[in-house]
Structure 1
Amino acid sequence: MENSQPIIIKRVKRYASNTHGGSWKIAFADFMTAMMAFFLVLWLLSTATPLQRAIISGYFKDPVGFTETASPHVIDLGGTPTPAPERTQNIEQDGVMSEAQPQVVSAEEISTLSALLEFERMEMLRIELQNKIEESPELQRFKDQVLIESTRDGLRIQIMDAENRPMFDLSSARMQPYFEDILLAMADTLALVPNKLSISGHTDARQYSSKDFAGNWELSTMRANAARRALVAGSYPEEQVAQVVGYASSALFDRADPFSPMNRRIDIVVLTRKAQQALEGEPNNAWGRDAERPAQEDPLPAGEVRERMNLFRDGPLQMDELKQQ
């Protein structure tokens, strides 16, 4: 008996394992990379100091102009920024490519902007140093001995002796360990700005002498130089030190008490550009070092010079005499 039931053959089409492709894997990898970079940026911003964030922000606002007043490279890739071409790439309505019109900025505006930028940099440095002192348990014990203030010449950091806590051994330039820790902690923060330093030593009115030096002038100079060595040991660039000088007791902090321990101090001044130029003898006027200067008047005879300057008279020069001259 023949079987009349039809025979049904099912053929299952098998697909290769990579039928859908791997594009989704690439997209997912790109997404994960972007998320990792995003969270890395957030982490860097949360750990960066206010001064570092200000430096990075200033670089991205003006990459070319920023190098004139700050660190030359945020990330040194070995190249240098170049100015824009003489012609723009914007085609005007008439189809003729026009030359770019340079923006004219006066020297006064440049000086003002530079001063404002430098003031902001000094203020950020002051905040950063104060935060470092407040956040460090070792430095917080000595915060009463550290005075940070803005002056005409720059940001001044004064580290003073306390009654029972001197910075140096008596009549010596040997530094106490706590004072060395203060300088080492400040060195990396001071190195963040390109401004140079002036370091000066001061003593009180007591007269010190030893086999190593003759008096307070030598002692104050040696102590200032010891502070310089500590900063350099803390990774501060040695070429950024513009001046090391000793004042002995000629510039007392507490003039009412010449023997006060506050008069024994080390002054570190982060110099402004103008103060640095004055210190290094650079011209700060309209004429450069080699530029032609206006002709001077013929010199006066010696007798007339003395008469005008009133060098050999006793007592102050009266206003009536000034008017007559």
Structure 2
Amino acid sequence: MMAKQQQIIIKKIKKVQGGGHHGGAWKVAYADFVTAMMAFFLLLWLISVSDKATLQGVAQYFTPTESISDKAGLGFDGGADANIEKGTGAPNAASSSLIYGSPSKGHRVDSARMPSNMSDIERDHFISIMNSIQQSSELKSFADNIQIDITNEGLRIQIMDSDNRPMFKPNTADLQPYMEKIITIIAKMVSTQPNYISISGHTASVKAGSDTGIDFWNISADRANEVRKFMTQKLIDKGQVVKIIGLSDREPFDPKDPFGIKNIRVGITLLNEASITAYQKSVPTKIGS
């Protein structure tokens, strides 16, 4: 009798790779999606409850820029940083208060790209002043005549000619009435800051063959000095001004158009610590008149 043949059974096991109907990877993706949607709706809610000035400040913060808006004015909710002790006017400095946001056009300042010779205190100080200036309604009608930026010397406020509105009577150093109004408002701001100031005068170039008979070196210096005299009569301490410069047409506002009227201007610069002399650093904080 033959032995009973043994039956061989082969068992196949089906391996299920990760994912499939019961995998967990989709849960991670879904969780990320839900988190992103929550963040998005939170952002929408924050935008809906924030005031306009805050939103404009946030927009300005994330905008890569090189200088500051040319819409300037005066509106003091802040002022100089109380930590700044050197320079004239320090005892009268207001406490620091950054005012974020303002309607802006033209150039703006990106604090990350400010000149490296400024300390953090000076940088914050100038940002505070600039934001304060932007809030004013008093100078809105003169927005085309005012440009503010930061140079290696400090915070520069430039007052320039525009169409049908020269800041000085033609070919003279006589201030126009609206120029006096602008300077008065700016001088009130400057007088409260712990900074010495420099004033520069500029003219536009004259096309070849136009013999005006005017010495533009003299008139640019005379205009800067006229602004100094107007400011120091009643508005600021006369010791606060430490430099008067006449630059003729050698530093045009618009190098591409050296004959343009905006090149005719006066610059008022609040000087930073690195731009004043050792003598000026050694004088008393408040210089007597």
Shorter-chain TM-score above 0.5: yes
Map 1:13-28; keep pairs closer than 5 Å: none
Match of residue 255 from structure 1:
255
For residue 67 of structure 1, the aligned residue among 77, 85, 88 is: 85
CA displacement at 1:72 relative to structure 2:
5.2
Match of residue 157 from structure 1:
157
1:177-222 Cα offsets, whole Å, 9 max, x none, are: 0011000011111111121111000001127756xxx500001011
- 2:244 maps to a residue whose letter is V
User: Runs (4+) of structure 1 moved beyond 3 Å?
Assistant: 66-75, 207-210, 280-283
Match of residue 266 from structure 1:
266
Residues 282/209 of structure 1: CA separation in 2 closer, same or farther (3 Å cut): farther
In structure 1, runs of 5+ residues without a counterpart are 1-47, 60-65, 76-111, 284-325
Map 1:278-317; keep pairs closer than 5 Å: none
Higher alpha-carbon Rg: 1
Match of residue 188 from structure 1:
188
- 1:221 maps to a residue whose letter is A
Computed over aligned residues only, the root mean square deviation of the Cα atoms, in angstroms, reads 3.0
Match of residue 235 from structure 1:
235
Classify the secondary structure of the residue corresponding to 2:277: helix
How many matched pairs?
183
CA displacement at 1:165 relative to structure 2:
0.7
Match of residue 78 from structure 2:
51
Classify the secondary structure of the residue corresponding to 1:226: helix
Residues 170/156 of structure 1: CA separation in 2 closer, same or farther (3 Å cut): same
Match of residue 179 from structure 1:
179
Classify the secondary structure of the residue corresponding to 1:50: coil
Instruction: Note if contact 2:169-2:175 (Cα within 8 Å) is conserved in structure 1.
Output: yes
In structure 2, runs of 5+ residues without a counterpart are 1-74, 94-115, 283-289
- 1:162 maps to a residue whose letter is S
Classify the secondary structure of the residue corresponding to 2:250: coil
CA distance in 1: counterparts of 2:212 and 2:245, whole angstroms: 18
What's the % identity of the aligned pairs?
30
For residue 126 of structure 2, the aligned residue among 122, 126, 134 is: 122
Map 1:37-116; keep pairs closer than 5 Å: 49-52=76-79, 55=81, 58=82, 67-68=85-86, 73=91, 115-116=119-120
Match of residue 12 from structure 2:
none
CA distance in 2: counterparts of 1:74 and 1:249, whole angstroms: 37
CA distance in 2: counterparts of 1:70 and 1:225, whole angstroms: 20
Match of residue 166 from structure 1:
166
Classify the secondary structure of the residue corresponding to 1:253: coil
1:32-77 Cα offsets, whole Å, 9 max, x none, are: xxxxxxxxxxxxxxxx93324x64xx36xxxxxx5347855469xx
Instruction: Note if contact 2:92-2:192 (Cα within 8 Å) is conserved in structure 1.
Output: no
More helix by share: 1
Residues 244/208 of structure 1: CA separation in 2 closer, same or farther (3 Å cut): farther
Instruction: Note if contact 1:168-1:174 (Cα within 8 Å) is conserved in structure 2.
Output: yes
CA distance in 1: counterparts of 2:218 and 2:226, whole angstroms: 12
Classify the secondary structure of the residue corresponding to 1:122: helix
CA distance in 1: counterparts of 2:240 and 2:203, whole angstroms: 25
Length-normalised TM-score, structure 1: 0.51
CA displacement at 1:158 relative to structure 2:
1.0
Instruction: Note if contact 2:199-2:269 (Cα within 8 Å) is conserved in structure 1.
Output: yes
Length-normalised TM-score, structure 2: 0.57
1:149-194 Cα offsets, whole Å, 9 max, x none, are: 1222100111110021101111111110001100001111111112
